[in-house]
Chain A
Amino acid sequence: MHAGLEHYLTVSFLLFSLGLLGVILRRNLLVIYMSLELMLNAANLALVSFSRFNDNLNGQVLVFFIITVAAAEVSVGLALIVALYRRRQSAHVEDLTTMKL
């Protein structure tokens, strides 16, 4: 069977939805953060497959930008989560309750 554009896009949609579910349902900050990366990579997959099937390289260039930015985001994000863990000894969202109405 030949894999066409729609197959790649379906996988990309599935990855995006799985990532979104992970963000909504999981309670550990690190797992949530991994799910967010999954969502970004779903977008990357969509861009690359569009790029491959439409014979247009602009999308792949954009993917490089996204990967670079995501790397910066991860380094800041992990540093933040580590700093929070040091203060609270926990990386669970239930513990993020200092600020309430």
Chain B
Amino acid sequence: MTLEVCVMALGVVLMLADFWLPADRKKFAGYAAVAALAGLLFLSFGGCGCCSLSGTAFNGMFVEDGLAVFFKRFFLIAAILVLFMAVEFSDRIAGGVSEYYSLIVFALSGMLFAASANDFTMLFVSIELITITFYILTSFQRGRLVSLEAGVKYLILGALSSSFLVFGIALVWGTTGKLNFNELAAVAAQFESNKIFLIGVLFILVGLGFKIAAFPFQIWAPDVYQGAPTPTTAFLAVGSKAAGFVLLLRVLFTAVPTVTAHWANLLIVISGITILYGNLCALPQRNLKRLLGYSSIAHAGYLLLGVAALSTSGQSALLYYLAGYLFTVCAAFTVICLVTRHLDNDDLSALAGLNRRSPLLAATMTLAMVSLAGIPPLAGFFGKFLLLKSVLEQGAANPGYYCLAFTALAGVVISFYYYFGVIRAIYWSKAAADVSPISLSGPIKVALWICIAGMFWLGLFPSKALNLATEAASVFAK
């Protein structure tokens, strides 16, 4: 709890700081927030009360276990990298830069609560805290029509999915009388044939499927990714998706494990279609952020492989893959943010000649694309390997898993085309309109090096991170 309270307080302080800081000092508010979050992250490893490994609060609604701690550190790192990006982006935001920082911090607090949610009330409140904050973050550049339009689209579809979520919660609670996940798990088996209960669970999955942008609830993702300010897009791709996954894991494997066991085929189909849809639609894209939007749908599909495997190895592979995805996506969006800072569009052509303008940025973007495509020795390769392995392990029980693994491999092969299209645009495009070198500030270089180090560390020395992920996933083994 201490961690959440500290993050909330930081958000309020940032908002108040807006009144007293002179306009040219606003940048320091962002760096101060980064420093504060880095301090909290450091404390969470020190284990001084912030992130103890057990305990509950609010009458069992809020639970602190291995999984919660894993995701809390994940969200803190994501928010730190996004804040670095937001500081660089601040000159494109017309007014209220401190508000932008504080909204990022508030969204972070929602994600921290989501990591610990063990009750449908907590699930609903934390998911809404994240989503409503993101409505504002998405439409923050209110002078740009695309930003507003993305915000409205996200608003309508987000509100639609939360009404499904609420209705599902109402049905599940009405039939079982339980809101707490552990209590629900104890009685869920006797409601397995109750249609209303099953519809309720399905509606809850609709609400969560929207958050992770799984097929068929993915239509918002490309538009919102394209229109939103770049730091928001990065946070949406990493934080919001991971929050959806932690809640999905808790609901499927803590609250209704007996129902989940029957729904393996549903999960296989959703995962397979999500992978194919994301990869095929990404092929013709020329807008960088839109391309990454479709690629994030595909990655939601890869992550769902770990859910569909219904095993501890699948869950730990999912967590490991998310960690690699965090550094990779943050690297890609940081580069996009810096390159298109003074441009009005985010077309692929903006990357032309990047290797001459800034070798570090070109190298980072190349590494990020290689990692997203899943080529050794970077993080994405080992994550995909683990996910496929966990799926194939289940193949003996259900041949559908072999089809799923094949689909995933086909998706990976398709994705090579568009990821290498990005790399080609950097190094081999002919007409570079702008060849002026891009100057990088010190802090953003630090952020880029953190991302690169993360990608290599997870790819070359996977054992440490994999142990952490397995430890976190062992929550479901009980």
- Which residues between 1 and 31 of chain A lie within 8 Å of chain B, taking CB atoms? 9, 12, 16, 19, 23, 29
Binary A-proximity of B127-151 (CB < 8 A = 1, otherwise 0): 0100010011001001001101111
- Which residues between 79 and 96 of chain A lie within 8 Å of chain B, taking CB atoms? 80-81, 83-84, 87-88, 96
Contact, CB under 8 Å: B149 / A59:
no
Output the residue of B159, B162, B223 with the most chain A CB within 10 A. B159
Of A16, A33, A69, A88, which is within 8 A of B124 by CB? A69
Chain B residues with Cβ below 8 Å from A40 are: 159, 162-163, 166
- Which residues between 4 and 43 of chain B lie within 8 Å of chain A, taking CB atoms? none
- Which residues between 49 and 72 of chain A lie within 8 Å of chain B, taking CB atoms? 50, 54, 56, 58-59, 61-62, 65-66, 69, 72
Binary A-proximity of B97-121 (CB < 8 A = 1, otherwise 0): 0000000000000000000000011
Chain B residues with Cβ below 8 Å from A23 are: 156, 160
**Is B448 in the interface zone, CB < 8 Å from A?**
no
- Nearest CB in chain A: distance from B109 CB, A: 15
Contact, CB under 8 Å: B163 / A76:
no
Taken together as a complex, chains A and B put the C-alpha atoms of A33 and B135 apart, in Å, by 14
Chain B residues with Cβ below 8 Å from A72 are: 128, 132
Q: Which residue of B lies closest to A95 (CB)?
A: B149
**Is B191 in the interface zone, CB < 8 Å from A?**
no
Chain A residues with Cβ below 8 Å from B132 are: 69, 72-73, 76
- Which residues between 443 and 476 of chain B lie within 8 Å of chain A, taking CB atoms? none
**Is B173 in the interface zone, CB < 8 Å from A?**
yes
**Is B270 in the interface zone, CB < 8 Å from A?**
no
Contact, CB under 8 Å: A29 / B152:
yes
Chain A residues with Cβ below 8 Å from B349 are: none
Chain B residues with Cβ below 8 Å from A69 are: 124-125, 128, 132
Q: Which residue of A lies closest to B226 (CB)?
A: A99
Contact, CB under 8 Å: B156 / A99:
no
Chain A residues with Cβ below 8 Å from B284 are: 101
**Is B322 in the interface zone, CB < 8 Å from A?**
no
Classify chain A: how many residues form its interface, as a range. Answer: 35 or more
Chain A residues with Cβ below 8 Å from B159 are: 33, 36, 40, 73, 77
Given A36-B160, A40-B166, A99-B223, A88-B145 contact (CB < 8 Å):
yes
**Is B341 in the interface zone, CB < 8 Å from A?**
no
Given A23-B160, A80-B135, A83-B139, A99-B150 contact (CB < 8 Å):
yes
Q: Which residue of A lies closest to B285 (CB)?
A: A101
Chain B residues with Cβ below 8 Å from A54 are: 174, 177
Binary A-proximity of B143-187 (CB < 8 A = 1, otherwise 0): 001101111110110011011101101110110010100000000
Q: Which residue of A lies closest to B150 (CB)?
A: A99
Output the residue of A19, A36, A80 with the most chain B CB within 10 A. A80
Taken together as a complex, chains A and B put the C-alpha atoms of A83 and B151 apart, in Å, by 10
Chain B residues with Cβ below 8 Å from A50 are: 170, 173-174
Chain B residues with Cβ below 8 Å from A39 are: 160, 163-164, 167
Chain B interface, number of residues (Cβ within 8 angstroms):
41
**Is B227 in the interface zone, CB < 8 Å from A?**
yes
- Nearest CB in chain B: distance from A20 CB, A: 8
Contact, CB under 8 Å: A46 / B167:
yes
Contact, CB under 8 Å: B155 / A77:
yes
Taken together as a complex, chains A and B put the C-alpha atoms of A29 and B159 apart, in Å, by 13
Chain B residues with Cβ below 8 Å from A19 are: 163
- Nearest CB in chain A: distance from B168 CB, A: 8
Chain B residues with Cβ below 8 Å from A16 are: 163, 167
- Nearest CB in chain B: distance from A59 CB, A: 6
Of A42, A65, A81, A87, which is within 8 A of B145 by CB? A87
Given A50-B173, A59-B170, A76-B132, A98-B146 contact (CB < 8 Å):
yes
Taken together as a complex, chains A and B put the C-alpha atoms of A46 and B164 apart, in Å, by 13
Contact, CB under 8 Å: B177 / A43:
no
Contact, CB under 8 Å: A98 / B149:
yes
Chain A residues with Cβ below 8 Å from B121 are: 61-62, 65
Of B155, B179, B227, which is within 8 A of A99 by CB? B227
Chain B residues with Cβ below 8 Å from A33 are: 156, 159
Binary A-proximity of B173-212 (CB < 8 A = 1, otherwise 0): 1100101000000000000000000000000000000000
Chain A residues with Cβ below 8 Å from B174 are: 9, 46-47, 50, 54, 59
- Nearest CB in chain A: distance from B221 CB, A: 12
Taken together as a complex, chains A and B put the C-alpha atoms of A4 and B139 apart, in Å, by 45
Of A58, A62, A73, which is within 8 A of B128 by CB? A73
Give the 9 A-B residue pairs with the shortest CB-CB distance, closest first: A50-B174, A39-B163, A43-B166, A46-B170, A43-B167, A36-B159, A69-B128, A47-B170, A43-B170
Q: Can you pick out 21 interface pairs between chain A and chain B where the beta carbons lie within 8 Å of each other? A: A16-B163, A36-B156, A39-B167, A43-B169, A43-B170, A46-B171, A47-B170, A47-B173, A47-B174, A50-B174, A58-B173, A58-B179, A59-B170, A62-B120, A62-B124, A62-B169, A69-B128, A73-B132, A83-B139, A98-B227, A99-B222
